Every structure is written in structure tokens, then in C-alpha cells.
């Protein structure tokens, strides 16, 4: 299959260069680069295509940059796969984009677009997913944002579902960071809230985002109470109770929505039990306590 | 690509869990109140020796656990806390504070009868009990824990209530 595709590409490339009136010597350079690429001699292919891209007669041809994209893509796979800041991947992307810009006849449009959408962009998404933990979340976000930028160039219709998946997971990571050390990691509460809210902006009926936002506020309210010393002044405690109550109230509509969307989810039922209990809403608590048991 | 997406999705759904000990904040709230009452109420001198006993009638295990936790770090003057759970009035010893939970099925009169002549702060959590003999009755107003105080009921049990507590309470007579 790969062989057939390469033969086809070879024919297209030769024809394209001849038609555009490029001299034989320059055509040879690109064709040689292609032969090296086909023979998996990627370092040689790279030298040749780099030279061709600097030569004024071939650097204006979409086919030259298209081939450069292929060569750098293979080099990335071979040498830099998994490296979130891979220069070769960026070179491949830039080459396909340049090819698109130069491609007045739209001859390589589908090929360039497919490469960007199906070969380059997913590697950024996968890197973002692999790096998404409490240590590498910043690098993960960098990769996700690159993925997003790239997809917006070629196929914005696929962004929404990926955006929701990614921000749900990112919100969870921020939540864990916050809960691992609330005093030091206070900013992660806001970041987690923003991540889940972003998902709800895209899909207000997202069960996980509703549930997680409910839990985030509920935990904050509960912790506010639980971290108090027993001899806290009662006037000061009144204010703590007010803040805590506000957080429980904030949590309630999200958890209720999550329950409406999935009435059988045990975590949601447990969450509602906790919220109603903390708000002293006894009747509702008893109702959900029975469901939880 | 698909494999990675699945990992992300699973991670997202299980990410939000309850923080440890988050399920019964009300027990913590009550413990804070009960501990604070000891700062505003004075017991007779013969009650200032030995352990400071908080008795629980029909109370939830989470309140008992929370009070046990409190007892490990707090005291009333030189008195250490002792938290005792009772299922009937017959087994009750001297209590400085007796918390009667709303789940307690023992008639209130029977409990107060048993406490006659003793310096016990009776704390309840049922509408109307501050008028029927409890010194303090927990109530919920606007989703918040508050308490009613019947000073004369406290005085019937030889307890002196600081005026500052009345400013924090819903005073009933």
C-alpha cells in the first residue's frame, strides 16, 4: 500500500515539476530527495530537500514543500516521537502549511490537509494526553493548544469533542493538585473550576463536568468546616458557616443536574446526599440516602 | 488516537472524589459548638474535678467520633474530656453536658427526671425542647446551624451562663 502510494506520488511530483517549467537539475534534486525518502534514507533526503527548499526555482513549488513535510514527518517518527517540543514535527507542519499556501491549483490540498489533520495534529493530542498528570500538566497544555491551533487550520468541526475530553481531564488534574495541598495550591481551585466550566459552556448537559464541578464546590465547603480548630470563636465560626453554606449551595445545582442526566450514578447520589445533609435539608437527604443504600 | 482518548475519558470521570471526612460536616459543627459552650458556662465547683463528661443519647456515631477526636487535643481547664454514649437513662453517670439527638426515643421527661439535682447542660436538637427543659436546643435557620438558649433552664441545673453567650444565641424563655 505504501509502495503504491509512493509510486503515485513519484509520478505526480515529476509531472508537477515539469509542468511548472523548473529546470532538470532542480527537478533531479527533488526527485533524488524523493528516492532517498522512498528508500528510507531520511538523512540524505533531508539534506537534498533542505537544499531544494532554499533554491529559488524549487522553493516556490508546492510539491517541494509537500515532500519536505513527508521527510520531516518520518524523521520525527524515527527520532523525536514523544518529544513534546520536537523541532522536526514543527518543520513537517510548517512544510505542509507552506505547500498549501503555494498550491494555487489545489493539487496537494487533500494530501496536505490529511497529513496535518491525521498525522501531525493527533501526535500533539496524544502528547497532551500522555503528559497530563500533576507534574507535567503545563507541557500537556502546550501540546493541547498546539493541537487546537492546528486543527482550527484544517478541520474545526472535530475540536468540540476533543476540547471537552481534554478539559474534563485537565480539570481533574487541577482538582487533584488543589486537594493535595489546599494552602499552597489555592490557584488550582480556580483553574479546575474554569476547566469544568469550559466543558459546560460547550455542553451544559455533560454529566462529568456537572458532577466534578459539584464535587469541587462541595469539597471546598466541607474542608472549610473540617479544617477549623474546635475552639474557634463562635462569631468567626458564623462567618465560616456562611462561606461553607454558600459553597454547598453553589454545588447543589451542578450535582442535581448530574443526577437528572444520570439517575443511576452512585457517586452522584452520594454527592447529593452529602450536599443535602450539609445544608440540613433533611427530607431531601433522607430521600437520597435511601437511594444510596 | 482512540486508545489515548479512552484513557482521558476514564480519568475525567473518576477524578472528582470526596475529600476525606467530608461526609459529616454537621458533626464537626456540633462539636465546635459543644466545645465552645464550655467556655461560656460555669459548672459548680464539685464538677470541676475529674473528667469533663459529654454524654450522648441516641447520637450518630460520626458525632461520637468527632467528639473523641476533639477530646484528644482539648480540655476544660485541667479536666480532660470523656465522651460517653448511652442507650438508656439507667446507665447514665454524671454528665457535664448531655446531648440528646433527635433520633433518641426515650421520653424527654424521663431524661430530665433522671438529671434532677445534677449540674448537667442539656443540649437537644428538636423543635420546642428549649421551652420544655433543655438549656440549649440546636436549630437550623437558612441552612445554617444555630442554637436556642433558655437561660433559666440552665440555671435550674446550677449552671451559670455568661451574658456573652446570649448575644450569640436565639434566646427563648
Of B18, B39, B140, the CB nearest to A280: B140
- Residue A152 resides in a domain: no
CB-based contact B53:A249 (threshold 8 Å): no
Q: What is the per-residue pLDDT across A230-263, written as a single tens digit (0 to 9) for each?
A: 999 999 999 999 999 999 999 999 999 999 999 9
B16 lies in some domain:
no
pLDDT score, position A218: 95
Instruction: Give me the residues of A, 170-189, that contact B with CB < 8 A.
Output: 171-173, 175-176, 179
Q: Are B111 and B105 in contact (CB under 8 A)?
A: no
Work out the minimum CA distance from A64 to partner chain B, whole angstroms.
29
Q: Would you place residue B5 in the very low, low, confident or very high pLDDT band (cuts 50, 70, 90)?
A: very low
- Confirm whether the ipTM is greater than 0.95: no
Best mutation target, A174, A280, A284, to test chain B (most B CBs within 10 A): A280
Q: How far is A105 from chain B (nearest CA, A)?
A: 32
Cα torsion angle, A48, A49, A51, A55, sign: positive
In a domain, B119, yes or no: yes
Instruction: For residue A290, give the C-alpha cell.
Output: 435511601
Task: Work out the angle at residue A151's Cα, subtended by the Cα atoms of residues A40 and A61, and round it to the nearest 5 degrees.
Answer: 50
> Would you say residue B106 lies in a domain?
yes
Give the closest-approach CA distance of A41 to chain B in angstroms: 28
Of B7, B22, B143, the CB nearest to A274: B22
Query: pLDDT (tens digit, 9 = 90+) per residue, A194-241?
Result: 999 999 999 999 999 999 999 999 999 999 999 999 999 999 999 999
pLDDT band at A24 (very low <50, low <70, confident <90, very high): low
Q: When comparing pLDDT for B60 and B56, which is higher?
A: B56
CB contact under 8 A, B31 and A230: yes
Residues 23-52 of B with CB under 8 A from A: 23-26, 28-29, 31-33, 35-36, 39
In a domain, A292, yes or no: yes
* Residue A41 belongs to a domain: no
Could you give the number of structural domains in chain B? 1
Give the domain extent around A197.
189-293
**A contacts of B15 (beta carbons < 8 Å):** 168-169, 171-173, 175-176, 212
Is 80 exceeded by the pLDDT of residue B1?
Answer: no
| CATH number where B74 lies | 3.40.50
Inter-chain contact B13–A231, Cβ cutoff 8 Å?
Answer: no
| pLDDT tens, residue by residue, A173-185 | 999 999 999 889 9
pLDDT confidence band for A8 (50 / 70 / 90): very low
- Asked if residue B167 lies in contact with residue B145, where contact means CB atoms within 8 angstroms, the answer is no
Interface contact B11-A172, CB threshold 8 A: yes
| pLDDT tens-place string over residues A42-78 | 999 999 999 999 998 899 999 999 999 999 999 999 9
Tell me the pLDDT band of B145, cut-offs 50, 70 and 90: very high
A&B contacts, CB < 8 Å: 123
Cβ proximity of A107 and A64 under 8 Å: no
> pLDDT tens, B73-111?
999 999 999 999 999 998 888 999 999 999 999 999 999
Is B1 contained in some domain?
no
Contact between A126 and B23 using a beta-carbon 8 Å cutoff: no
Q: Give the chain A residue whose CA is nearest to the CA of B32.
A: A230
**Residue that is written with C-alpha cell 514543527 in the block:** A90
Supply the DSSP symbol for A242.
H
- CA A228 – CA B66 distance, rounded (Å): 13
Put simply, whether A249 touches B (Cβ < 8 Å) is yes
Residue A284 belongs to a domain with what CATH number?
Answer: 1.25.40.10
Query: Which site among A182, A226, A266, A286 would you substitute to test the B interface, given the most B Cβ atoms closer than 10 Å to its Cβ?
Result: A226
Place of cell 533542505: A50
Q: Give the position of cell 428549649.
A: B130
Q: Where does the pLDDT of residue A4 fall: very low under 50, low under 70, confident under 90, or very high at 90 and above?
A: very low
CB of A274 within 8 Å of any CB in chain B? yes
For the CA atoms of chain B, what is the radius of gyration? 20
CB–CB of A169/A177 below 8 Å? no
Q: Residue B4 above 60 pLDDT? A: no
Task: Return the number of other C-beta atoms located less than 10 Å from residue B81's C-beta.
Answer: 22
Question: How many CB atoms are located within 10 Å of the residue B40 CB?
Answer: 17
Percent of chain B with pLDDT over 90: 80
Phi, then psi, of B119 in degrees rounded to 5: -95, 75
**Is the pLDDT confidence value at B6 over 80?**
no
**How far is A40 from A36, CA to CA, in rounded Å?**
6
- Exposed, middle or buried: residue B61 (CB in 10 Å: 0-12, 13-18, 19+)? exposed
Q: Which residue of A has its CA nearest to B13?
A: A208
Asked if A288 is an interface residue toward chain B (Cβ–Cβ < 8 A), one would say no
Burial of A51 (0-12, 13-18, 19+ CB in 10 A): middle
Q: Would an 8 Å CB–CB cutoff place B145 in contact with chain A?
A: yes
Number of domains making up chain A? 1
Instruction: Give yes or no for B141 touching A (CB within 8 A).
Output: no
**Residue contact B12–A237, C-beta within 8 A:** no
Across chain A, mean pLDDT equals 91
Amino acid at each position: 500500500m505504501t509502495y503504491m502510494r509512493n509510486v503515485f506520488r513519484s509520478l505526480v511530483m515529476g509531472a508537477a515539476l515539469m509542468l511548472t517549467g523548473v529546470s532538470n537539475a532542480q527537478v533531479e534534486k527533488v526527485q533524488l530527495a524523493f528516492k532517498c525518502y522512498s528508500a528510507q534514507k531520511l538523512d540524505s533526503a533531508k539534506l537534498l530537500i533542505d537544499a531544494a527548499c532554499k533554491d529559488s526555482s524549487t522553493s516556490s513549488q508546492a510539491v517541494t514543500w509537500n515532500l519536505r513535510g513527508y521527510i520531516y514527518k518520518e524523521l520525527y517518527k524515527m527520532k523525536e516521537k514523544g518529544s513534546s517540543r520536537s523541532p522536526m514535527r514543527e518543520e513537517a507542519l510548517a512544510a505542509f502549511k507552506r505547500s498549501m499556501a503555494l498550491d494555487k491549483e489545489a493539487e496537494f490540498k487533500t494530501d496536505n490537509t490529511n497529513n496535518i489533520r491525521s498525522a501531525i495534529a493527533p501526535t500533539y493530542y496524544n502528547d497532551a494526553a500522555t503528559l497530563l498528570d500533576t507534574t507535567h500538566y503545563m507541557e500537556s497544555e502546550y501540546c493541547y493548544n498546539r493541537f487546537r491551533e492546528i486543527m482550527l487550520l484544517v478541520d474545526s468541526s472535530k475540536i468540540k469533542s476533543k476540547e471537552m475530553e481534554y478539559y474534563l481531564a485537565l480539570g481533574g488534574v487541577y482538582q487533584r493538585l488543589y486537594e493535595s495541598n489546599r494552602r499552597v495550591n489555592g490557584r488550582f481551585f480556580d483553574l479546575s473550576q474554569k476547566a469544568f466550566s469550559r466543558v459546560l459552556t460547550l455542553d451544559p448537559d455533560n454529566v462529568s463536568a456537572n458532577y466534578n464541578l459539584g464535587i469541587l464546590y462541595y469539597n471546598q465547603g466541607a474542608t472549610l468546616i473540617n479544617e477549623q480548630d474546635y475552639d474557634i470563636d463562635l462569631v468567626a465560626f458564623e462567618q465560616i458557616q456562611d462561606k461553607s453554606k454558600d459553597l454547598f449551595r453553589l454545588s447543589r445545582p451542578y450535582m442535581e443536574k448530574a443526577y437528572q442526566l444520570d439517575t443511576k450514578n452512585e457517586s452522584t447520589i452520594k454527592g447529593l446526599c452529602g450536599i443535602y445533609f450539609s445544608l440540613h435539608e433533611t427530607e431531601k437527604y433522607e430521600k437520597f440516602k435511601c437511594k444510596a443504600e | 488516537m482512540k486508545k489515548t482518548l479512552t484513557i482521558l475519558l476514564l480519568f475525567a470521570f473518576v477524578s472528582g472524589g470526596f475529600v476525606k471526612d467530608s461526609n459529616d460536616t454537621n458533626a464537626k459543627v456540633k462539636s465546635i459548638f459543644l466545645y465552645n459552650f464550655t467556655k461560656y458556662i460555669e459548672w459548680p465547683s464539685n464538677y470541676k474535678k475529674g473528667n469533663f463528661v459529654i454524654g450522648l443519647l441516641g447520637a450518630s456515631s460520626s458525632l461520637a467520633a468527632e467528639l473523641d477526636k476533639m477530646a484528644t487535643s482539648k480540655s476544660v481547664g485541667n479536666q480532660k474530656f470523656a465522651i460517653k454514649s448511652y442507650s438508656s437513662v439507667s446507665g447514665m453517670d454524671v454528665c457535664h453536658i448531655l446531648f440528646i439527638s433527635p433520633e433518641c426515643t426515650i421520653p424527654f421527661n424521663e431524661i430530665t427526671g433522671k438529671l434532677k439535682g445534677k449540674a448537667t447542660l442539656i443540649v437537644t436538637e428538636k423543635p420546642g425542647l428549649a421551652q420544655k427543659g433543655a438549656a440549649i436546643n440546636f436549630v437550623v435557620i437558612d441552612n445554617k446551624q444555630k442554637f436556642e438558649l433558655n437561660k433559666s433552664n440552665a440555671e435550674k441545673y446550677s449552671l451559670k451562663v455568661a451574658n456573652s453567650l446570649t448575644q450569640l444565641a436565639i434566646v427563648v424563655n
